[in-house]
Amino acid sequence: MRARSWVLPLLMVSLVLACERVSARRPPVATEPIVHSTTVPIASTPAAAGEPESAPGGAVVGSGPANLWRDSGVSAAPEATPQDGPSPVPFAVDVRLATDVVLYDTWNGLGATHTVAVALHKSGAFFTYDAKVSASPFSVGEPIPDPRMSPTSEGAACRCALTSACGCEDAGATRKQGRVPVAAVAELLTAFGTRPLDLRQVHPNVGGWSDDYPYRHFVVTVPGASPVHFTAPDQRRQWLRDGKFLYRLPDEMTNGREPEHSGLNRAFANLESALGVGKWITEQHKIDPNGGPL
């Protein structure tokens, strides 16, 4: 019996070793793929033309196989919000080359209500002009309206050429003629012509609404090109170029009340000052009882 006592343990050890050798020769069973810990940045490869771009943080927005958030089964990431900033896309028309500028400025509310329309034409070292001025708001016809503005809510309903007199105009409006140096108009054209569009196209209204109702618009004509319209249609005093918001510089983001285009408004006001618009309005209120007291 003692001779057989070691046989059984020896047989069990041999059986275990044999099973391990057989297992080592068998291929692994295909189950779940192995997940490695190495991370490959999504944005490491530039997107080809037509493919969705990588959003900040690596999330890919858009559709198609490249949208890893959608196709991976992970909860969809929120759509990337366009960032504040100037658009890098250049304009097709350089308004600094303008030969004609027609501006329209009206104001209703407290203070000196008025409507002023001015047509300027480049002639040598000057811009000559014809103008109409009234002491009442929206009381002079707009010569060339912005086609993107509604005449019933934002723009002037009256349309009339500067050299004509129309029944929709204030009978007490007066005419002005003269000229200003090219430099006076060039300041306006440079300020607006070099200001890019805003990437977001969403300009907030911070509040502080006042009971004044300004509307400003001017159209620029460059030979051989379509007219370009610049409009500030309401109290926010934020300018649009052909219906799209212009970029606000960092120091224009707030002025304590409204996030307006203060630099552009200053350029517009400087041209009106060079023309003598303030004096015209004061004179008009003295002779036109419809305008009311200043």
Share above pLDDT 70 across residues of the chain, in percent, rounded to a whole number = 61
Give residue 203's pLDDT. Answer: 65
Q: Last residue of a domain, which of 76, 103, 138? A: 76
Residues 253 and 163 in one domain: yes
Residue 268 has pLDDT above 90, yes or no: yes
Which of 80-84, 167-171, 242-246 is the least confident region? 80-84
Task: Mark whether 168 and 262 lie in a shared domain.
Answer: yes
Residue 183 has pLDDT above 80, yes or no: yes
Lowest mean pLDDT among 73-77, 91-95, 196-200, 242-246: 73-77
Q: What is the pLDDT of residues 238-265, one digit of tens each?
A: 899 999 999 988 777 665 555 578 899 9
Residues 6+ apart with CB under 8 A from 223: 97, 99
Q: Residues 69, 115: one domain?
A: no
**Residue 56, pLDDT above cutoff 80:** no
Number of residues in the chain: 294
What's residue 2's pLDDT? 47
How much is the pLDDT for 270?
Answer: 97
Count of domains forming the chain: 2
Does residue 188 share a domain with residue 260? yes
User: Are 63 and 182 in a shared domain?
Assistant: no
Same domain membership, residue 170 and residue 142: yes
Residue-averaged pLDDT of the chain: 73
* Whether residues 67 and 213 fall in one domain: no
**Each residue's pLDDT tens digit, 191-220:** 999 999 998 887 665 555 566 788 999 999
- Residues 159 and 72 placed together within one structural domain of the fold: no
pTM value > 0.85: no
Residue range 105-131: mean pLDDT, rounded: 93
- Among residues 76, 109, 140, which one ends one of the domains? 76
pLDDT in tens, 4-55: 554 445 555 455 455 444 444 444 333 333 333 332 232 333 333 332 233 2
Q: Are 52 and 69 in contact (CB under 8 A)?
A: no
Q: Are 159 and 145 in contact (CB under 8 A)?
A: yes
| Residue range(s) defining the domain that contains residue 110 | 95-291
Residues 6 or more apart whose Cβ sits within 8 Å of residue 288: 134, 135, 136, 170, 172
